[in-house]
Amino acid sequence: MAPERGDIDHDRLDTLWSVLAYHAERSPHQVATLFEGRATTYRALKDDATALARRLAAGGYGQGDRIGYLGKNSDRYFTLLFAVARLGAVLVPLNWRLAAEELAYIVADSEMTVLFGSEEFSSQAVLLARGRGIAHAVLDEQSSAPAGEDAPPLDDDMPEPDAVAFQVYTSGTTGRPKGAMLSHRNLLALRGPGYRAGLRWFPLPGCSVGVVLPVAHIAGTAYALFGFYIGARIVIAREFDAGTLPDLIAREKVSHLLLAPAAMQLMLEHPAAADANFSSLEFITYGAAPIPEALLRRALKRLGCGFVQMYGMSEAAGGVVALQPKDHVSAVPGRLRSAGAAMPGVAIAIVDDAWNVLPRETVGEVVVRSPSVMVGYWKRPDADAEVFGPDGWMRTGDIGRIDAEGYLFVLDRAKDLIISGGENVYPAEVENAIFGHPDVADVAVVGAPSERWGEEVVAIVVARPGTAPDLASLLGWLDGRLARFKLPKRLVLVESLPRNAGNKLLRRVLREPFWQGLERRVN
């Protein structure tokens, strides 16, 4: 029997710490996290987070300090998240899949004062911290041990809802990632309105919410907070594994799950899924790309649950537009090709270059307005000026239209983003790395269709006279400079790249041969 919706006092849940404290008081014995057989109740999680916060405070760390985490998913990560929230500090998660040079840039740019590494990544955390005046620590069993007499009690000052709590790095067209600063209010803004609107696909108290996407992405952490907000049980996988996920779902009776379509396909194609019991699943949320209709039909038949597509971005604390379960079985022509309609608490519009709001069915840039929209980019007022406009609107960088019923159709990415296996790859970032190759005179990077990953990275290269670079030499050059998921899967040699009269690269022209006869839908 499904849990009751309960009488949650949404007005009390305005910071991350207030969420944890509320459920520790209301349901102290309810399991908050389950990780590799280790169950932690809400009361125990609050006690662990308090102890870690006390030790950090005793070390002189507090409000506004950037505290980093390098590691895969674990229950201890959430202990750290809540401890940092209690201090009024800011958590900066690092994507463990990034290359050393990329990680070093984020560590330096964020000006973090402490870097926690999981046991698996502790030596790498030491190397990143060394010589930068950054303290480092291993986030393990000892991290949630009693604080001891040397750690004084915490003061009574609680973080304010508008204080920054989370800083997630997102790459961009400049090739350098930017730190999107998200406040407590940003991270929690759409939970209360969704429950008040009666969205049935929101988890209920006692549900089991599966977290398999990386916590260094906004999707991984925000989806966990989705469950924490209502007092659900968070079932954590160290990382996505198509072979073990079916067993995890069945064993822990996971009811709500967030996956990228590529991950969903890998799971369904794995032999472990053949006899798996998926009966506990109620809703699967997917994002980063629309789901191919053939995959959706297969998933509906095999998984038998509702599906929700989310469109969003790190700068808006995750999903802001949803294609709800009813839309996935709608008879309205073309409905599945939309990204969905605005979530409760969100406004979306289409604007021209001068920020004028355009009529329905007109193509332009998608903008969003919501209390979930970030505070801004860390120490990047120039970047803030590019994305923030009048009346609270924020540019998404996507081109689209909104139909008469308010459904958003994303037609292209103004920033040419490639989404490969659920990971964001920005062409300029890859191009900047390739340009240093001694045999490369010019380069453009585009996404091409991939059955396994949705899209794959293709490098289109103009060689220097007398040279003939191949994919192997290019990958050797890029080793250590870029994360593996950003590396080109193909290399195409051309005599020149198409550009317009202003010397702007015509990336769309380069993409067309790969997508001819296919529909490149994005959201």
**Mean per-residue pLDDT, 143-161:** 75
Three-class secondary structure of residue 40 per DSSP? strand
Digit-coded pLDDT (tens) for 253-269: 999 999 988 788 889 98
Q: What is the C-alpha separation between 236 and 35, in angstroms, rounded?
A: 5
Max mean pLDDT among 288-297, 412-421, 434-443 falls in 434-443
Angle between helices 218-230 and 75-87 (to 10 degrees): 80
Max mean pLDDT among 169-183, 271-285, 505-519 falls in 271-285
**Mean per-residue pLDDT, 207-219:** 94
- pLDDT grade for 325, boundaries at 50, 70 and 90: very high
**Mean per-residue pLDDT, 102-108:** 94
Task: Label each residue of 462-520 as H, E or C.
Answer: EECCCCCCCHHHHHHHHECCECHHHCCCEEEECCCCCECCCCCECHHHHHHHHHCCCCC
What pLDDT is recorded for position 519?
A: 44
What pLDDT is recorded for position 433?
A: 83
513 vs 86, residue with greater confidence? 86
Digit-coded pLDDT (tens) for 363-380: 889 999 999 999 999 999
9 vs 512, residue with greater confidence? 9
Q: How much is the pTM?
A: 0.83
Please report the domains of the chain, with CATH numbers, ordered by start residue: 334-415 (2.30.38.10), 418-515 (3.30.300.30)
Question: Taking all residues of the chain, what is their mean pLDDT, rounded to a whole number?
Answer: 89
Cα atoms in the Cβ-side hemisphere of radius 13 Å centred on 300? 14
- pLDDT grade for 145, boundaries at 50, 70 and 90: low
Percent of the chain with pLDDT over 70: 91
**Mean per-residue pLDDT, 419-447:** 83
Instruction: For residue 413, give the nearest of 421, 430, 425 by alpha carbon.
Output: 425
Instruction: For residue 429, give the nearest of 479, 481, 475, 394 by alpha carbon.
Output: 481
2 vs 229, residue with greater confidence? 229
3 vs 383, residue with greater confidence? 383
What is the number of other CB atoms lying within 10 angstroms of the CB of residue 130? 10
Token pair recorded at residue 142:
């000892």
**Mean per-residue pLDDT, 128-153:** 78
> Does residue 430 carry a pLDDT above 90?
no
What pLDDT is recorded for position 504?
A: 61
